[in-house]
A = this chain, B = another copy of it.
Amino acid sequence: VDALALKRDLERSCHAARAAARVLAATGRADKDRALLAIAERLVSDAPALLRANQVDLEAARAAGLTEAAQDRLRLDEARIAAMAEAVRQVAGFDDPVGEIAGMRRRPNGLLVGQARIPLGVVLMIYEARPNVTVDAAALCLKSGNAVLLRGGKEAARSNEALGQLVRSAVASVGLPEDAVQVIAPLGRDETRVLVGLQGLIDLVIPRGGEGLIRFVAEHARVPVIQHYKGVCHLYVDESADLTMALALVDNGKLQRPGVCNALECLLVHERVAEPLLREVALLPGLSIVGDAATLAVVPAASLATADDYGREFLAPTLAVRVVASLDAALDHIAQYGSNHTEAICTSAYPNAQRFLREVDASMVLVNASTRFNDGGELGLGAEIGISTTKLHAYGPMGLESLTALKWVAYGEGQIRS
């Protein structure tokens, strides 16, 4: 009975979201931007109430023995709230993706056809501790005309509830339906399982968090899911590479921010340049290396890589290294161990650059640039609602446009089909 009641409640939320989505889809940019600016204002003016709600979460987190890092991710303060407000104001400044009509052309019978950009409908975000995702996702979904259901982590339940109420009242204050944004109380994994099974009621699920969360969602989903497992990013340094550049790309890729998904995890180096390059790589401060026998011959301080070290996302200043005999060997390694996230080559040879760009299957493939550039902001998308490492619907960082679809439109003068 409880399970049935839960399902009924969640279905009711979805129906309310769908009704709100229908209104939002027909709402122009000016009204959507007014809602966003109202959210930004209230974030600042209601900061004390938000901090009180966050305090309750933080105390529970401490009592439950969460790590310092986890507590920090959960924490709100004046500066973080101001940053959230600023991010919402930036979304207000972005172009509205909805309404553009692409590829308008006249068919031989005179029918004028094109593809109009429209919102997806109802988006479900499932995410872990950071409360700023609540506001970021709400802002991006509103701007793109979508209703959103926000299912955050248990640890941030009070903070997310307070943020959700704030956003809803800001949306209502400009005359838009508050059910466009709904925070779902995180009771366990039950409501997640029910939600992702609501075929026809939810148009897209975007899970953000650890691999376990994403696999759980993918396993139970009966609606489309954006999948982003891990980022096992490679840099292949070709025999023709500028080794000074290659060293800078290793340093930046691996050490600038080792804990993120576009950080470098594995260096593949052509055997003809392995010795000079690896000697320099070994000197990078704070870096530890796990490599194959050829690597150890140059860098005796490195550890021997185990089978698991290739294809591993270290999320730490540890770099896997493998010496390869050719571009083909590098391409094979990446096909076997890559995660379809980000792959780069450092080369001066035009045919190798072109071949790498063409043959590597990843959401971003770079020549002579750091893997760290696979990021919505760096690519000019504005903000990111997620990253997809599968090719369906989106591949790579997802901006506002990824929250839309194209429908066919036709302007006729009575055309019938013969």
Most buried by B among A22, A395, A414: A414
A415 at the interface (CB under 8 A from B): yes
Instruction: Check B414 against A245 for contact (C-beta < 8 Å).
Output: yes
Partner of A393, one of B357, B379, B393, B415: B393
Specify the chain B residue showing the minimal Cβ separation from A22. Answer: B335
Interface residue from B118, B410, B416 paired with A248 (Cβ < 8 Å): B416
The yes or no answer to A68 lying at the interface (CB within 8 A) is no
Interface centre among A335, A366, A416 (most CB of B within 10 A): A416
**How distant is the Cα of A406 from the Cα of B379 in the complex, in angstroms?**
14
Q: Please report the C-alpha to C-alpha distance between residue A413 and residue B393 in the assembled complex, in whole angstroms.
A: 31
How far is the CB of A184 from the nearest CB of chain B, in Å? 21
Verify if A409 is at the interface (C-beta below 8 Å from B): yes
In the bound complex, how far is the Cα of B373 from the Cα of A370, in angstroms? 47
What's the Cα separation between A28 and B357 when bound, in Å? 14
A249 within 8 A of B: yes
- Given A361-B407, A368-B412, A407-B396 in contact, is the A120-B417 Cβ separation under 8 Å? no
A228 located at the interface, meaning its Cβ lies under 8 Å from any Cβ of chain B in the complex: no
Q: Check A26–B358 contact: CB distance below 8 A.
A: yes
Min CB gap A413→B, angstroms: 6
Copies in the complex: 2
Residue of B nearest to A219 (CB): B222
Q: Which of B99, B120, B362, B369 contacts A392 (CB 8 A)?
A: B120
Residues A417 and B380 in contact, CB atoms below 8 Å apart: no
Contact call B414/A365, Cβ cutoff below 8 A: no
Q: Which of the candidate stretches A49-57, A74-82, A105-113 sits at the interface with the other chain?
A: A105-113
**CB-based contact A408/B224 at 8 Å:** no
Whether A392 contacts B357 by the Cβ 8 Å rule is no
A46-69 to B contact mask, C-beta < 8 Å, 1/0: 000000000000000000000000
Contact string, A221-233, partner B, CB cutoff 8 A, digits 1/0? 0101000000000
Q: Which residues from B are CB-within-8-Å of A396?
A: 407-408
* Pairs A-B, 7 closest by C-beta atoms: A369-B412, A391-B405, A252-B416, A364-B408, A372-B417, A245-B414, A368-B412
What are 11 A-B contacts with C-beta separation under 8 Å?
A22-B361, A111-B373, A118-B361, A120-B391, A120-B392, A203-B390, A219-B222, A353-B411, A365-B409, A379-B408, A396-B408
